[in-house]
Amino acid sequence: MELKCVVAVVRPDALQTLEKRLGAIDIHGITVSKVKGFGAHPNLFADDWTTEHLKIEIFAQASDVETLVRAIMDIAHVGPAGDGIVAIIPVERFFRVRTQSEAIP
């Protein structure tokens, strides 16, 4: 089976709703990091151009990626600039540290 990594950068207020939706579509396993940055529309009038967002990384089977991306997009979309981004990255290999073996999640 083909494995992908879905990376999303979203507003912090989307996380709780997103976690519930992921459980409902049988996606189990998520990594969340607090990040700062700016994209196409930085606030040039502020002393600090960056804004705080969350970076979410999810490893999923390729067959589940479209449903996963749609869920993220539906929840994260508010409308104004700064809603975030979603990227799909191929995974060449996947290992479990506990078993020290190659695995498919």
Sorted by where each begins, the domain ranges of the chain are 3-102
pTM score of the predicted model: 0.87
- Name, in order, each residue with C-beta under 8 angstroms of 3's C-beta and a sequence gap of 6 or more: 59, 60, 61, 62, 90, 91, 94, 104, 105
Give residue-wise pLDDT tens across range 53-71.
999 999 999 999 999 999 9
- Read off the tokens for 95: 């290992």
Inform me whether the pLDDT recorded for 28 exceeds 90.
no
- Place 49 in a pLDDT band, splitting at 50, 70 and 90: confident
Inform me whether the pLDDT recorded for 104 exceeds 70.
no
Residue 4 is predicted with a pLDDT of 95
Pick the CATH number of 3-102 from 3.40.50.2000, 3.30.70.120, 3.40.50.880, 3.20.20.100: 3.30.70.120
